[in-house]
Amino acid sequence: MHPLVEANLSLLLFLPWFVLLGALFHAFPRRPRTAGRRAFDAACLAVAVLMAFLGMHWALRNADPGAGAIWKQVLACSLAYGLFLLVLALGLAVRRRFLAAAPSSNARAPVA
């Protein structure tokens, strides 16, 4: 196997799942969809992918070589997935708090 592919195999295998989770994270809730919300979602997804990438490479470098090559990949996959989900979960919590504090766009102005 090519060394570049081997070093990034965990991320390549989980990439479709990361795309699906990222699309759901970005799509829901549908409202309010402000520019700040879109920027926050994009930043959160970028941090999630970065953390998954860094965690995967850390696991590949620090896995026990005596356990076999497949277990390096298993550890890298597990850590990358866990970090991706952790960042998205934190992003959901922060976003929920941010959306709750924002004034509702559905509120009507009082009629004078």
pLDDT tens-place string over residues 9-40 = 778 888 899 999 999 998 888 888 888 889 99
Which amino acid is present at 100?
A
Instruction: Give the separation between CA 84 and CA 78, rounded to whole angstroms.
Output: 10
pLDDT top residue among 72 and 89: 89
Residue 107 has pLDDT above 80, yes or no: no
Are the C-beta atoms of 83 and 99 separated by less than 8 Å? Answer: no
Residue 88 has pLDDT above 70, yes or no: yes
Instruction: Give the separation between CA 82 and CA 104, rounded to whole angstroms.
Output: 33
Claim: this prediction has a pTM higher than 0.75: yes
pLDDT confidence of residue 108? 54
pLDDT tens-place string over residues 56-77 = 999 989 988 888 878 888 899 9
Backbone phi, psi, residue 32, to 5°: -80, 145
Give the CA angle between residues 95, 99, 102 to the nearest 5°: 140
